[in-house]
Structure 1
């Protein structure tokens, strides 16, 4: 089929939506489809046989225009974390019509169904984001310190500095160092990160770095902190699991929907003291850290490109049957 994939993220952006769009375009082309990535769709644009739109709220205009111009052609909408946990409540007049117009919805973690209106659940499909194994040539964890990575752009939804705040509370002899990679979404966030580095010797912010460098950061870390307060199913969790890296995660649906309700590495969202305790236990208790690692590594087969491609193929089959 001719597929147009709409993402609100610009071509050179390292935002998660753009990374997902680029990866999915490759997987769909591998299935024999012709895929075009755009930031918007207008009635005068080439009409695809299927429109796949990332973000119900940010892509609402393109979704509405396509549904009106091509009502018989399949329309698939991907629900992001802010769609599910913010915009359907704060901007229902723009967000919910995107769900109404869609022939199929895609959620990026297994618990999305419980967080959207019941009338949409019969059109919901789960597609877990994939990651590639780390090259064997990458060196392992840094010796002499317990390096913990945080991967994600600095913004409120990510509660981005929580790991840094937690590291401040650790005992004087702790070897924990928090290394964060991601672009600041505002100058206020950039200044907050720079200020934290100035007063917190256990914290380092790298800014936005290429994906290859992110993967090297995963390789040299002993754990990853996923501190979000809302999340649609972060690809960083997939990357960590495929890398065999333990995840210390806020207990929110976007994380439990990837790691499972029984995962032992959760802490209450925004609870600095609880995260500090989890960091300290991870550093001091090798058996606990290994338990987390084994749990994450066991999930890795769910996050392969082949599994993601099969899930996408099932969605297309459902809407074109």
Structure 2
């Protein structure tokens, strides 16, 4: 029995909950019994291994499991708020990381945040998404999907500020979906929705609805200051939607350092320029973004993620039982 613990609600739409459910499904396909819990509770059937999502928030679960199962392997999946800006600033306990048999990062540049000693027992497992059927985009506008909860690390007001700088001829409209977790920022996003005709924050929606909006968009926009490896980028690749992103390692580790759709984090002018260049396909930019994202589609194939999990389990002497 493999236990997966997540600090997020198991049945919720938050990233850790989504990852926990997806990994549980893939591990079951590999022949393992899996239990998913919101935290660790003592007692019950013996567990063969622990997979803990979020090093800081799951630290107590890791310690308690290790006390109860001192010989069982522990895997810790590192999130963006664990890794960035660095482990010390993120308040990740090095003693908890020392318990881990393996660490997981969600994109290849994540290992650089860990240092050589930890990188040697770290696996890169890119989050997968089944192929998403595209939807015809609206002809009367150039719709840009922005799928992000409103909290400071997402830099959530950057899109609204950038589209205010666009030429009058631009048809760009940003559709923002996500929870208003920071009340002050949410109030400002609501004001932008009232006053800015190029921006609309619709609040939280079910994941199926968010993916429907994404599949009918011309671009996905990501403005985060830090990401561990955003699942929304995987979703965009699965939907064949090109990505415009802040130049952070969480994105460059997925899309590649030479990807043409980056802007400096926090740079409103650069973002506005890039969005308009994509809309107008200046220098073939939009076509280049589209082609690069289509070429990256195999990166987020569920079979690739399942193979990566199987390799990690073999390293823990927990082979698949298919």
TM-score range, shorter chain: over 0.9
Secondary structure of the residue that 2:146 maps to in structure 1? strand
Measure how far apart 1:95 and its partner are: 2.9
Secondary structure of the residue that 2:316 maps to in structure 1? helix
Q: Contact (CA 8 Å) 1:111, 1:254: kept in 2 or not?
A: yes
Secondary structure of the residue that 1:174 maps to in structure 2? coil
1:211-226 correspondence runs (5 A): 211-226=207-222
For 1:34 and 1:206, locate their aligned partners in 2 and report how far apart those are by CA, in whole Å: 39
Measure how far apart 1:90 and its partner are: 2.4
Structure 2, unaligned runs of 5 or more: none
Q: 2:287 aligns with which of 262, 287, 290?
A: 290
Q: Contact (CA 8 Å) 2:87, 2:113: kept in 1 or not?
A: no
2:296 is matched with which residue? Answer: 299
Q: State the TM-score, normalizing by the size of structure 2.
A: 0.95
Residue 261 of structure 1 pairs with residue 257 of structure 2 = yes
2:227 is matched with which residue? Answer: 231
Residue 125 of structure 1 pairs with residue 123 of structure 2 = yes
1:252 is matched with which residue? Answer: 248
Structure 1, unaligned runs of 5 or more: none
1:78 is matched with which residue? Answer: 77
Q: Contact (CA 8 Å) 1:76, 1:102: kept in 2 or not?
A: yes
For 2:159 and 2:105, locate their aligned partners in 1 and report how far apart those are by CA, in whole Å: 27
Q: Deviations over 1:237-268 (max 9, x none)?
A: 01111211110110011000000011011000
Q: Contact (CA 8 Å) 1:4, 1:52: kept in 2 or not?
A: yes
2:308 is matched with which residue? Answer: 311
Q: Contact (CA 8 Å) 2:161, 2:268: kept in 1 or not?
A: yes
Residue 61 of structure 1 pairs with residue 60 of structure 2 = yes
Measure how far apart 1:155 and its partner are: 1.0
2:25 is matched with which residue? Answer: 26
Measure how far apart 1:43 and its partner are: 3.4
Measure how far apart 1:292 and its partner are: 0.4
Q: Contact (CA 8 Å) 1:83, 1:95: kept in 2 or not?
A: no
Indicate the structure with greater helix content: 1
Measure how far apart 1:170 and its partner are: 0.3
1:103-252 correspondence runs (5 A): 103-135=101-133, 139-252=135-248
- Taking a change above 3 Å as real, the CA distance of residues 189 and 312 of structure 1, as seen in their structure-2 partners, is same
Measure how far apart 1:97 and its partner are: 2.0
For 2:153 and 2:98, locate their aligned partners in 1 and report how far apart those are by CA, in whole Å: 26
For 2:96 and 2:178, locate their aligned partners in 1 and report how far apart those are by CA, in whole Å: 30
- Taking a change above 3 Å as real, the CA distance of residues 87 and 58 of structure 1, as seen in their structure-2 partners, is farther
Q: Contact (CA 8 Å) 2:125, 2:308: kept in 1 or not?
A: yes
Q: Number of aligned pairs?
A: 317
- Taking a change above 3 Å as real, the CA distance of residues 91 and 266 of structure 1, as seen in their structure-2 partners, is closer
Runs of 4+ in 1 over 6 A off after TM superposition: none
For 2:259 and 2:90, locate their aligned partners in 1 and report how far apart those are by CA, in whole Å: 33
RMSD between aligned alpha carbons? 1.4
Secondary structure of the residue that 2:296 maps to in structure 1? helix
Measure how far apart 1:187 and its partner are: 2.3
For 2:101 and 2:183, locate their aligned partners in 1 and report how far apart those are by CA, in whole Å: 40
Q: Deviations over 1:132-156 (max 9, x none)?
A: 2223xx5311111110011121111
1:95-106 correspondence runs (5 A): 95-106=93-104
Q: Deviations over 1:92-151 (max 9, x none)?
A: 4x532221110000000011111112210110000000112223xx53111111100111
For 1:118 and 1:240, locate their aligned partners in 2 and report how far apart those are by CA, in whole Å: 32
For 1:13 and 1:223, locate their aligned partners in 2 and report how far apart those are by CA, in whole Å: 26
1:42 is matched with which residue? Answer: 41
Measure how far apart 1:86 and its partner are: 4.4
Q: Which moved further from structure 2: 266-275 or 205-214?
A: 205-214
Secondary structure of the residue that 2:168 maps to in structure 1? coil
Q: Which moved further from structure 2: 8-17 or 69-78?
A: 8-17
